[in-house]
Amino acid sequence: MARLGIIFGLLLCGVTVAAMLQTPQKDPSQLYAMMIGIPILFCGVVSLNPHRRRVATMISLTLAFLGAIGGLSWLSLRLSGNGLPSSDAPSHLPIFGMTTLCCALILGCIIGFSHDRKQTLKKQ
């Protein structure tokens, strides 16, 4: 789980960097992925310590859940209009990437938790 948090934290930061390099027009919504990615990366590094693994994983899972819910709500509010203006279209790509990566992290954590649970039950 620690490596998963580190990888997804770096990917979320990469989404922001790619969005900033993609267009000369700067928008605060391009930074949302990095605002979620840096704490997830930090929690991934902290969860390398076996004594803090569970708490750090739960915090990163909570951040990913907030990122997914926030991204879905942001996209639904922005896309519910009559259509996208062409100048506003690049700002949706980093939010979509953040939402996708956060959902993938949630899914990966759920799969990892179920795998750990099966391993624990086999040991008993």
Residue 119 neighbours by CB distance under 10 Å: 9
Determine the pLDDT at residue 99.
94
Query: Which one has a higher pLDDT value, 32 or 79?
Result: 32
**What is the C-alpha to C-alpha distance for residues 53 and 95, in angstroms, rounded to an integer?**
28
Average pLDDT taken over every residue of the chain: 86
Determine the pLDDT at residue 74.
85
Query: Which one has a higher pLDDT value, 27 or 91?
Result: 27
* Position 67 confidence tier, pLDDT thresholds 50, 70, 90: very high
Residue 85 confidence (pLDDT) above 80 = no
> Domain extents for the chain?
2-78+88-123
* CA 20 remoteness from chain centre: 17
Residue 83 confidence (pLDDT) above 80 = no
Query: 3-state secondary structure string, the chain?
Result: CHHHHHHHHHHHHHHHHHHHHHCCCCCHHHHHHHHHHHHHHHHHHHCCCCCCHHHHHHHHHHHHHHHHHHHHHHHHHHHCCCCCCCCCHHHHHHHHHHHHHHHHHHHHHHHHHHHHHHHHHHHC
Residue 90 confidence (pLDDT) above 90 = no
Determine the pLDDT at residue 113.
85
